[in-house]
Amino acid sequence: MAIPLTATTWQNFKRLLSYAKAYKLGFVAAIIGMLGYAAIDVYFLSKLQPLIDEGLAGANSEFMKWAPVFVVVAFIFRGLFHFVANYCLAWVGNHVVTDLKQHLFEHIMAMPVAFHDKESTGGLISKLTFDTEQVLNSVSKSILVIVQQSAFVLGLIGLMFYISWQLSVIFLLITPLIAIIVTIVSKRFRRVSKNIQGAMGEVTTAAEQTFNGHKVVLTFSGQEKEFNRFAQINKNNRQQRMKLVATKAGSVPIIQIIASFALAFVFYAVNSESLRDSISAGSFVSVITYMTMLLRPLKMLTNVNSEFQKGMAACVSIFSVLDQAAEKDTGTKELIKAKGKLTFKDVNFAYNYDPSTRANDDIEPKWSLENISFEAQPGETIALIGRSGSGKSTASALLLRFYDASQGEVQIDDVNIEHYKLKDLRNQFAYVSQQVVLFNDTLANNIAYGKPEASIDDIIAAAKSAHVMEFAEQMPQGLATNIGENGSLLSGGQRQRVAIARALLCDAPFLILDEATSALDTESERHIQDALQTLKQNRTSIVIAHRLSTIENADKIIVMEQGEIVEQGKHQALLKKDGAYAQLHSFQFES
């Protein structure tokens, strides 16, 4: 259910309530508890007039006899209704927010790579944690107060009119003024609350970046700079919160002052001859008491507006992500296991390129890849080399459909990869990048991440082939040892070997090695190269490398510059051409 960015508060609230459909019985029970709680309070106060006119005046002795029993019973039921309302509402609220959080997490993971390129990780984490909790705390509390106190207010107004409509109608005269103030304040609450969401995202992002890069900060003595940057962000967060407090603190006394005018006018009106004789002492005291008691729920209803708007601002923040289109999976063709043929056919690619918006656009886009064409037969090794920024990693990203080719086709087994189902396509690749990602889990589970059904024997075999067992056996629990956040307990070379073991275990027909041996020492690299040679025998391999010594035996070496292929061929043939490859080779080996 997509809601436009200009959705009203009511539309967003209805959308939020749609998550509660599965828990409607609990919600109904909560509403009954709230109404019951308010009804007991109203009924209790309705006995104020007879208490004065009949009980205290001595006109009805039975009334005072049963009054103590009535008080105890009323408060027992009041307590039961209070428990039901709070427990059931919390039960529904926690389920709704858990579902919302799960939905948001799954949607973020389903978003295309381009989305993650633009969004900060800290901002997304803030939405997943702070914003969802804001929805739970703000909206649950708001519903409780709105339903319970609104019912109480309506009950008191009903009692007032039943006792004396002349005095009660005075109170209604202030209602339009209160409504105007609440409307104005609501808009400001929502605007400021939205700013608070953004400020919290900035706090999370700043902290995450600094903590992740703390070694760089310490090395370059950047503590003071980071302290000042965080202090500025923290200050902005405080200022936004104080704006909310100021609005909240100012609106409540204004409404209460307006209500006091109505109360003062009642005192004035009751002195008139027409009302003095027609209203009993009990009636007058009751109306005055009801009016006085209306001030507290009116204050609560005004205050809860700020809480409700905070929750709605959090909803807008969450829905703005949920309303963005997930990664497109237009493929319908199944692919169990590819034969291994790979083709790039006249491929052009530019970031943020949308052909549908360029029908009449004469401006040539800035291509990151231009006129890329090459072919790899099953079992061949293709090496992509070139300076940083030449497009090597971009080409590998197209294979996995992290991005789609702007023009031309990428084919597997002579079929455009866009025709394959995304999951089937990505199952054809084992990928080892220069930025190894490991999880806060055991060595064994990290190796088996791409193949969780693998047996322990398969995991050990992959670990031996990648020379992981050499250091795993020295660990306290072997492969069952937890390696910490992103493998923090391992060295760079060890982390890369774990990633290679993961790729070995996947047994995919295609293998992408993006600087896979860059963090290994000479001895480890020799062991890994031996393992990779065995791995490549029955697989089509795409090797991205800067170190030419690792790709001399490749079936085809493709030299790239500024997104274009300038040379391709075997090692010896390219050296004889004395072109770009020969220059790179001589630069590396003569230096």
The per-residue pLDDT for range 89-127, each reduced to its tens digit, is 989 989 998 899 999 999 998 888 888 888 888 788 888
pLDDT of residue 10: 80
Of 535, 540, 576, the C-alpha closest to 555 is: 540
| Domain parsing of the chain, residue ranges | 9-322, 342-355+367-590
pLDDT of residue 534: 62
Q: Give the tokens for residue 197.
A: 């969401």
| pLDDT tens digits, 23-34 | 989 989 999 999
Q: Look up the CATH superfamily of 9-322.
A: ABC transporter type 1, transmembrane domain (1.20.1560.10)
Query: Which residues are 556's β-sheet partners?
Result: 382
Within 8 A by CB and 6+ apart from 340, the residues are: 376, 377, 378, 379, 413, 509, 510, 539, 540
- What's the mean pLDDT in 139-168? 82
Just give the CATH number of 342-355+367-590: 3.40.50.300
Residue 244 per-residue DSSP state: H
Amino acid (1-letter code) at residue 430: A
Q: How confident is the model at residue 274 (pLDDT cuts 50, 70, 90)?
A: low
Asked if residues 465 and 528 have their Cβ atoms less than 8 Å apart, the reply is no
Percent of the chain having pLDDT more than 90?
Answer: 15
- DSSP letters, 364-381, are PP--SEEEEEEEE-TT-E
Across the beta sheet with 510-514, what order do the strands follow?
A: 429-432, 510-514, 540-544, 381-386, 556-561, 564-569
Of 372, 290, 215, 386, the C-alpha closest to 41 is: 290
Q: How confident is the model at residue 521 (pLDDT cuts 50, 70, 90)?
A: low
If DSSP codes are grouped into helix, strand and coil, which group holds residue 32?
A: helix
Residue 130 per-residue DSSP state: I
| pLDDT tens digits, 1-21 | 444 446 777 888 888 888 888
pLDDT of residue 374: 92
Q: Which residue has the higher pLDDT, 418 or 465?
A: 418
Of 400, 571, 550, the C-alpha closest to 559 is: 571
What separation, in Å, do the N-terminal and C-terminal C-alpha atoms of the chain show?
61
- What's the mean pLDDT in 323-346? 90
Buried-state track 437-476, b at ≥16 Cβ within 10 A, e below 16 = ebeeebbbbbbbbbbeebeeebbbbbbebbbbbebbeeee
**Over 70: is that where the pLDDT of 559 sits?**
yes
